[in-house]
Amino acid sequence: MILYQLRCGKDHEFEAWFKDGQTCDRQLSRKSVECPVCGNRKVAKALMAPRIGASEKNLPAKPQPAPQDMAVMAGTMREHLQAIRAKVEENCDYVGDKFADEARKIHYGETEARGIYGEATDAQHQELVEEGVEVARIPWLPRSDA
Ligand SMILES: [Zn+2]
């Protein structure tokens, strides 16, 4: 199961689960997904990486997970975030609090295009988004003790 962030033609954002990415694309192109706010069927994926949920066979029959499953999901999410962190550290340059400046320079072609990561304040993040600079916020977990 994959959770997608979707957006209707009137800019309402909502989340929906799909069996997989293909199912999502098919349902969107058939206009069989309806905005829960206004009923608009002009729905597209919002710009966001899909979150991978628990594998289908582990899902309980009811949509509401039992409390013990929540702990499993939290554990999976933690591993997932740590994997993201490892990948980012491996492939991207750390620029610390210069993140907003560097992201902007890359966006405007003033410096070599490369993956970077660092810290930005909420206000800086908002400015980058408004300028159309592609940025993603990642919940940054401390390294695993293991
Ligand atoms: Zn809507």
- Quote the CA–CA distance of 90 and 82 in Å, as a whole number: 12
Q: What is the pLDDT of residue 57?
A: 52
Residue 88: predicted pLDDT? 83
145: confidence class by pLDDT, cuts 50, 70, 90: low
pLDDT of residue 87: 83
Residues 136-146, mean pLDDT to the nearest whole number:
68
Name the residue with higher pLDDT: 61 or 130: 130
8 or 120, which is more confident: 8
1-10 mean pLDDT: 91
Compute, in angstroms, the gap from residue 46 CA to the centroid of ligand 1.
13
Of 123, 61, 72, 74, nearest to 97 by C-alpha is: 123
Residue with tokens 């975030």: 81
Q: How far is the CA of 38 from the centre of ligand 1 (A)?
A: 4
Q: Is 96 helix (H, G, I), strand (E, B) or coil?
A: strand
Q: For residue 34, how far is its CA from the centre of ligand 1 (angstroms)?
A: 8
Domains of the chain, by residue range, sit at 2-52, 78-141
- Report d(CA 133, CA 116) in Å as an integer: 13
Average pLDDT, the chain: 81
What is the helix (H) or strand (E) element at residue 103, kind and residue range? Answer: helix 99-107
Distance (angstroms) between ligand 1 centre and the Cα of 90 equals: 39
Q: How far is the CA of 135 from the centre of ligand 1 (A)?
A: 25
CB 104 within 8 A of CB 133: yes
* Residue 36 CA to ligand 1 centre (angstroms): 7
Note the pLDDT of residue 25.
94
- What is the DSSP pairing of strand 2-8 with strand 93-96? unpaired
* Cα–Cα distance measured from residue 96 to residue 119, given in angstroms and rounded to the nearest whole number: 5
Band (141; pLDDT cuts 50, 70, 90): low
The predicted-structure confidence for 43-64, as pLDDT tens digits, reads as follows 999 865 545 554 555 555 555 6
Residue 144: pLDDT band (50, 70, 90) is: low
